[in-house]
Homo-oligomer: A and B are copies of this chain.
């Protein structure tokens, strides 16, 4: 009822080796035997045993998506959730499953252990810093892909730039930035874009660090109001942060966008439905995750920057529209 390669070979009148060649790696085979094997396989409803195959090929069975952060509940972050799901769907046809794991900031030992895991088909890393990517254990090279700076990344400089330009265009002149954590490689580009624009406009920089929680977003907003009370716009590099800031501003009796405009980053589902609706930048997270996953499997995925396109909604001031 369940047939193996041997049976297919027998029916096709060839050796298992030949059958294997046509069914798997597409090794050399005459047109005749190829046809015979294919026919036999078809007729028997042959399905290769993925585990046996993976053992023989020394190729793993799952990729792990490792997210580095100081908080373990980063695994519930909307970005992580979306990316994980996208990978799980994208790798299904490859007979490869995905595992999700949290890594502390100091994760050298964990990576070492991962590199010794022969069940690992590939690793997708998020939340890395420059250091980490440069010093991957040898066993991980060639089967690791990163999401964010240095890997499958979004053109965050463009996205943040567009958002800030818009703030400037609608008359904001005292624009503060809630940046990402400094240990994160992906934090650099947005800060760079911000600084470039602010300086070009002859304005002074106002930067506070946040993370990906709304709590910190609220705290950051309060810090900004305290330190620079005349701030008229806050750009956050995460939607959760922006939402937290929105809450803090409301609590402080500051009107958005009248008094202070706010922008986020990533366009999580929440962004459009929040009140007021959040202006942010939208990203093809599913595509990014799928690209990273395939790269982790060793596929040659062209390294490109994914688009970061601004979405202007209520919190931005000016009239709502998409750039």
Interface, chain A (partner B; CB < 8 A): 2, 45, 47, 49-52, 54-55, 60-65, 75-76, 78, 80-82, 84-85, 88-89, 91-92, 95-102, 113, 116-119, 243, 269-270, 273-275, 286
Task: Flag if B65 contacts A61 (CB, 8 Å).
Answer: no
Kindly provide the distance from the CB of A250 to the nearest chain B CB, expressed in whole angstroms.
11
Which residues of B lie under 8 Å from residue A64 when comparing CB positions? Answer: 92, 97
Are B101 and A99 in contact, CB atoms less than 8 angstroms apart? no
State in angstroms the CA–CA spacing of A64 and B154 once bound together. 29
The 9 closest A-B pairs by CB, nearest first: A97-B97, A62-B97, A275-B275, A50-B119, A88-B100, A61-B61, A92-B99, A89-B100, A84-B85
> A97 is contacted by which of B47, B55, B63, B270 (Cβ under 8 Å)?
B63
User: How far does the alpha carbon of A276 sit from the alpha carbon of B92 in the complex, in Å?
Assistant: 39
Contact A81 B85 (CB under 8 A): yes
Closest chain-B Cβ to A91's Cβ sits at a distance in Å of 6
Most chain B beta carbons < 10 A, residue from A81, A92, A97, A274: A97
Closest-by-CB residue of B relative to A277 is B275
Judge whether B45 and A116 touch: CB under 8 Å: yes
| CB nearest neighbor in B for A272 | B270
B contact residues around A96 at 8 Å (CB): 62, 97, 99
Residues of B within 8 A of A80 (CB): 85
| Residue pair B84, A118 in contact (C-beta under 8 Å) | no
Selected contact of A52 from candidates B55, B98, B243, B275, CB within 8 Å:
B55
With A55-B52, A85-B75, A118-B49 as contacts: A61 and B97 at CB distance below 8 Å: yes
- CA distance in complex: A23, B222 (Å): 55
Most buried by B among A52, A95, A119: A119
